[in-house]
Amino acid sequence: MSAVKMTEGTVQLDSCKEPLFYRRSEPAAGDAKMSLLLLHGIRFSSENWLSNGTLEILAQNGCRAVAIDLPGFGQSKSAKAPAPVGELAPPDFLKEVCEKLNLNPVVVVSPSLSGMYSLPFLHQHQALMRAYIPVAPICTDKFTREQYQSVKVPSLIVYGDQDTQLGEVSLASLSNLANHSVVVMKGAGHPCYLEDPDTWHKALTDFLNTL
């Protein structure tokens, strides 16, 4: 496996008084072939992408990956979120994150809570996105079928088959995306990427190899 460089840092946004913490992984040598932004759910933080191996696997596969602690979570706890949990954040929030961290065009991995950030970004700024990987995100019902159909970004919809609540609800909306494929992880619940990292990493890297 190729060598990996891991770093940590903070990014200061114009829209946030306090800086946001992030972890970054990239190939130790040579340029990265693409950039990913890893978001997280309500009980989690960037640390989960470190502990389940996703940051390392992405770098081994030639990618640069940044896992960020969203405002109010992890080591960004003192940062104020731009919207209450469950409401849509301004689409320019992730746009600024990606610009400050030099991630465009970006592949966004968005589980659960982070749908409130990624979905507005997806609908407003698809030109800045290389791909979208939603994992049972919230807020999918806040957009119309027509809005989803107008999104041409390649998308990989992932959820656990035991996630009968958010997994199935989000799929009903996300399956209207114009250019999507679906991976259902057998026996996995809502945080399927933590419960079965091997299946998750295979689905993730297989999809990235098609881009």
Q: What is the pLDDT of residues 174-192, one digit of tens each?
A: 999 999 999 999 999 999 9
Q: In the predicted model, is pLDDT for residue 152 greater than 70?
A: yes
- Is the pLDDT at 1 greater than 80? The verdict is no
Per the annotation, the verdict on 163 as an active-site residue is yes
Homologous superfamily in CATH for domain 4-208? Alpha/Beta hydrolase fold, catalytic domain (3.40.50.1820)
Check 35, 45, 112, 155 and give the catalytic one. Answer: 112
Catalytically annotated residue among 40, 180, 190, 201: 190
Interval 58-67: pLDDT, tens: 999 999 999 9
Q: Is the pLDDT score of 30 beyond 90?
A: no
Q: Which residues contact 137 (CB under 8 A, 6 or more apart)?
A: 110, 111, 112, 113, 114, 115, 118, 119, 166, 170
How deeply is 144 buried, as exposed, middle or buried, from its count of CB atoms within 10 A (0-12, 13-18, 19+)?
exposed
- Residue 112 known to be catalytic: yes
206 is catalytic: no
Q: What percent of the chain has pLDDT over 70?
A: 99
| pLDDT (average), residues 41-67 | 97
Read off the pTM.
0.97
pLDDT in tens, 78-109: 999 999 999 999 999 999 999 999 999 999 99
Catalytic residue (one of 69, 163, 170, 173): 163
